[in-house]
Amino acid sequence: MPRMSKKSGRYRKISILNIMKKWCNGFRFHKDAQTVYNLVSLGMFFNENGMFINYCFSTGSPTFIFKVLNKQKFDFFKTFKDYIPDFVLDSFDVTNMQAAPLLLQTGYLTIESSKSMFDRTLYKLNFSNLEIQTVLEHHLVAMLTERNQKDVSTEIVKLQMALLANDTATMQQVLKSHIAPSHTPTAATWRKTTRTLSILFSACLVPKFTMKFT
């Protein structure tokens, strides 16, 4: 752990440790297991002098995973509300890849809780940690809107700043760019727009950390 300044003291150290846990910790592949840190992100975090940024995709972009999500129109928020039977998550058929077990076994989702009912174990899933959540949400909005991921991330930051400043004009401007075109939309277009806006709002509500050790 880099040395804390005397001015920051013990409470600043505890605060940073809590943020580190929220940002990098959370992986659990069994209902009774302890959560573990993403060691790659943790190592890069220290190497970058304690900067909280997204490291998880720096070693490669999971293009295949996003193709599966897009093909199946995977809905994260519906998935998080539902309990999923154990046999669904245990399946891993390369010829018919399902999004939920793929995301769980690759570490993008984790087991949040479980309960035994109907002679089987039911699981609730969630994002593994805050780093994974922010990166996935930004990439998903880019995929759904067929835009450059960097441009989408810039728009999300713009929308966040507008929300903080209560700048309704800028909020409307950003949101309108993600809404279906003015011509008569199809049901599929509106479903896609709804998914995009739900992810966009979620991404805007996630706190972003750019803290550094002093």
User: Mind listing the pLDDT tens digit for each residue in 3-29?
Assistant: 444 445 554 666 778 888 888 888 887
Q: What integer pLDDT is reported at residue 58 of this predicted model? A: 64
pLDDT band with cut points at 50, 70 and 90 for residue 204:
low
**15-19, 82-86, 126-130, 174-178: the lowest-pLDDT one:** 174-178
Q: What integer pLDDT is reported at residue 3 of this predicted model? A: 41
Instruction: Cite the beta strand spans of 128-202 per DSSP E.
Output: none
* Cβ–Cβ < 8 Å for 125, 104: yes
The CB-side HSE value for 131 (13 A sphere, CA atoms) comes to: 27
β-strands 25-27, 36-37: how paired? antiparallel
Parse the chain into domains and list their residue ranges: 1-144+209-214
* Cβ–Cβ < 8 Å for 138, 154: no
Q: What integer pLDDT is reported at residue 1 of this predicted model? A: 38
Residue 112 has pLDDT above 80, yes or no: yes
Residue 98 has pLDDT above 80, yes or no: yes
pLDDT band with cut points at 50, 70 and 90 for residue 125:
very high
CA-CA distance, 149 to 47, in Å (whole number)?
Answer: 25
CA-CA distance, 105 to 84, in Å (whole number)?
Answer: 15
Q: What integer pLDDT is reported at residue 122 of this predicted model? A: 93
Residue 50 has pLDDT above 50, yes or no: yes
Q: Pick 208 or 139 by higher pLDDT.
A: 139
Q: What integer pLDDT is reported at residue 61 of this predicted model? A: 64
